[in-house]
Amino acid sequence: MAERSFDAMRQDAIRRSREMQRRAVPPVQETPPPVPEIPAPPEKPQKPGLDLGLQGLLSDWDAEKLALAGLLWVLYREGADPALLLALAYILL
């Protein structure tokens, strides 16, 4: 009798599970809306003047030299020791 009860419960569980699966709504697969293409901004013409002179002067410097020049400028503005400033300037050469 216990086996019969166990089998009945198992069959009932299987039936309920199938019924729930049948009632479940399958997930709707939505395609995402197309992403509009963003046009590239127009290139700005270079202004003649100081920018071109400074750009021409610093165009062949690498990141290391630019960092040293920036450090030299900051230390100069802070009133650092002239010997330190000369040493950094020598390294820049």
The pLDDT value given to residue 83? 94
Domain extent, residue 67, equals 62-93
pLDDT given for residue 21 in this prediction = 87
Rounded to whole angstroms, the maximal C-alpha distance in the chain is 103
How far apart (Å, rounded) are the C-alpha atoms in residues 11 and 28? 31
Report yes or no on 74 lying in a domain: yes
What is the rounded distance in angstroms from the CA atom of residue 34 to the CA atom of residue 38? Answer: 12
Distance (Å, whole) CA 88 – CA 78: 15
The helix/strand/coil state of 41 is: coil
Q: What are 38-60's pLDDT values in tens digits?
A: 877 777 666 555 455 656 666 77
**% of residues, the chain, pLDDT over 90:** 29
Decide if 84 is inside a domain.
yes
> Would 3 be classed as within a structural domain?
no
85, 75 Cβ separation under 8 angstroms = yes
Q: How many domains does the chain have?
A: 1
Q: How many CB atoms lie within 10 A of CB 89?
A: 13
Average pLDDT for residues 17-33, to the nearest whole number?
A: 78
Q: Is residue 50 part of a domain?
A: no
Report yes or no on 89 lying in a domain.
yes
Give a yes or no: residue 72 inside a domain.
yes
